[in-house]
Amino acid sequence: MRLSDFTLLAICLGARSIVTATRGSITARDNALNPVVTNNVLEITVHDSLYSTSLPSTGSEHLARRRANSLRKRQAITFAEDDLITYKGASYMANVTIGGQPFALEIDTGSYQTWVATTQFRCWDVHTQRVLGQSTCRLGDLFDPTQPFRSTRQTCESRYDSGEVLDGFLGHGPFGFGGVGRGQRPHFTIDQTIGAMTIGMWYGNGISSGVLGLAYPSAPIVWDHLVQEYQSVLFTLFHTQNISPVFSLALQRSTTSSPTAGHLAFGGIPNVHTDGRWVPTPLVRNAQGTYTLYNILIDGFDITPAPKSPSAGWWKNTKGGRYKNSKQNMIIDSGTSKVILPDRVAKYIAGGFDPPAHYEASVEEYIVPCFASSPRVGIKIAGNSYYISAEDLLERRDNIDGDRWQHECSLMIEPAGNSRLILGATWLKNVLVVFDMSNAVEVRRGGRNGDRDQFGEVRIAGREVY
């Protein structure tokens, strides 16, 4: 999620009961919920970047400078699953088809907006008002917006706090996904309205051609301050296909042995190993009292500093961690690479390394020797701690030419300042998350689950080791 200036609308998700899981299966504790393993998964593939981190999707001011960065029982239920692509383990992409043409789009649970750059796209410097080379924006394949893609004759505009600006038009046509990354025909093809961008500035990765928004608005989306009859991809899918209104995400840290970087499943869960500790937690309202994005309430943090670190003394005097009871609203956002925490918590974690991390204001991040001993960092949710692997806490730094700094790493925990708190890809690589929108579908259809105070839940299982 790279926050833009268009209005974020509410997401309405349906609450369900707690589940338990074993390898390859999930078993309901009651008959109200029976999510199943599906082989219909969008795979994520691995690509190295020239830069150490991808751009977080939240609206941090430093983004422009950091390019270096059931379920209700139904009959004949179908599923879709595919493998994903990753950009150096920081941004993740799914393969889709738009108008029959294949593209890789960044998956973003922090946005409901889906768009693709067209063959008419011009990379534009908004400050100098000059056209730049396409290599500056570093977009992937460009979309030819001819038939069967049809313009709605409505403009769309996206502006991001990072300085990224995109303009184009709305259009609709066949949008396919599920199996595309495996060379198969799409499991699902829906008639979908998306943004077709023709000009702007984008800090791309050279692979993705746009964004696949996986948030779920409960009302038409606002583009350019005007309400458009545009619904998200998930909304269209769950209202037009015979599929359970659930999707699940299992990001994976990249390795040299496997090009697969994770799985995105619709209507069920991918067949991946978990620790079996499934915990449900409801979506909660934001500070404005509305349901926007996948916002959950965490219990606090489970942090054990390295024994000889500066934070170790604090930990000894506070058994279980200094911030074990620190309730926070956090957004689950696959479009953000880092975990963004309250400043004091980020500082405590930075001090938990031996030797400790130091804050480098020029890049607005903590820097730590790559050989440092790491603290044990977990996010406490509904009484369970979900830990971040030590190998996900640090990422080696690259300079502008792509040469590797041998001994310095970036800490993948970022102080929030005045920004929102985010559970980004760094944390998501250590869990399997199920997003359940059953009640949202029932509310919109006028079904019996019409309680507007029940907007859904996510269910989480740990998978730190795989």
Quote the mean pLDDT of the chain. Answer: 77
The pLDDT tens digits of the residues spanning 333-344 come to 998 899 999 999
Report the CATH fold assignment for 19-272.
Cathepsin D, subunit A; domain 1 (2.40.70)
Backbone angles phi, psi at 278, to 5 degrees: -85, 130
DSSP 108: E
Are 19-272 and 295-332+338-423 in the same CATH fold? yes
Question: Which residue type sits at 46?
Answer: V
pLDDT of residue 183: 76
Q: How do strand 328-332 and strand 422-423 relate by DSSP bridges?
A: parallel
Residue 212, exposed/middle/buried by CB under 10 A (0-12, 13-18, 19+)?
A: buried
Q: Are 188 and 237 in contact (CB under 8 A)?
A: yes
Catalytic member of 82, 108, 167, 299: 108
DSSP 67: T
Q: In terms of pLDDT, which residue wins out, 151 or 455?
A: 151
299 catalytic, yes or no? no
**Predicted TM-score of the model (pTM):** 0.81
pLDDT of residue 451: 46
Side-chain half-sphere of 378: how many Cα atoms within 13 Å? 20
Q: Are 456 and 438 in contact (CB under 8 A)?
A: yes
CATH of 295-332+338-423 given 3.40.50.720, 2.40.70.10, 1.10.10.10, 3.40.190.10: 2.40.70.10
Catalytic member of 83, 333, 354, 392: 333
Measure the CA–CA gap between 272 and 420, rounded to whole angstroms: 30
Q: In terms of pLDDT, which residue wins out, 35 or 364?
A: 364
Q: Are 389 and 429 in contact (CB under 8 A)?
A: yes
pLDDT interval class at 19 (50, 70, 90): very low
Please report, for residues 22, 94, 206, 263, 448, the alpha-carbon distance to residue 260 in angstroms, rounded to integers and kept in the order given.
22, 11, 18, 8, 40
DSSP 222: E
pLDDT of residue 159: 73
Q: How do strand 188-201 and strand 115-125 relate by DSSP bridges?
A: parallel
Q: What are the residues whose beta carbons fall under 8 Å from the beta carbon of 256, sequence distance 6 or more? A: none
DSSP string across 402-461: -PEEEEEEEESEEE-TTS--EE-HHHHTTEEEEEE-HHHHHHHHT-S---TT---EEEEE
Q: In terms of pLDDT, which residue wins out, 221 or 191?
A: 191
Q: Three-state SS for 315?
A: helix
Phi-psi category of residue 148: left, alpha or beta, with phi > 0 → left and psi -120 to 50 → alpha: alpha
Q: Are 437 and 14 in contact (CB under 8 A)?
A: yes
Q: In terms of pLDDT, which residue wins out, 258 or 219?
A: 258
Q: Are 252 and 267 in contact (CB under 8 A)?
A: no
Measure the CA–CA gap between 209 and 102, rounded to whole angstroms: 10
How many Å is the Cα radius of gyration of the chain?
A: 21
Measure the CA–CA gap between 463 and 352, rounded to whole angstroms: 23
Measure the CA–CA gap between 401 and 274, rounded to whole angstroms: 39
Side-chain half-sphere of 219: how many Cα atoms within 13 Å? 11
Measure the CA–CA gap between 376 and 162, rounded to whole angstroms: 31
pLDDT of residue 312: 79
pLDDT interval class at 73 (50, 70, 90): very low
Q: In terms of pLDDT, which residue wins out, 81 or 245?
A: 245
Measure the CA–CA gap between 40 and 202, rounded to whole angstroms: 31
Measured distance between the N- and C-terminal CA atoms of the chain, rounded to whole angstroms: 27
Backbone angles phi, psi at 183, to 5 degrees: 80, 15
224 catalytic, yes or no? no
409-424 mean pLDDT: 94
Q: Is the pLDDT of residue 46 over 70?
A: no
The ranges assigned to domains in the chain are: 19-272, 295-332+338-423
pLDDT interval class at 435 (50, 70, 90): very high
Instruction: Please name the helix (run of DSSP H) or strand (run of DSSP E) that holds residue 125, with its range, or none.
Output: strand 115-125
Please report, for residues 201, 290, 352, 371, 413, the alpha-carbon distance to residue 374 in angstroms, rounded to integers and kept in the order given.
37, 38, 7, 9, 12
pLDDT of residue 410: 95
Q: For residue 78, give the nearest of 187, 160, 153, 224 by alpha carbon.
A: 187
Extract the tokens encoding 34: 């029976």
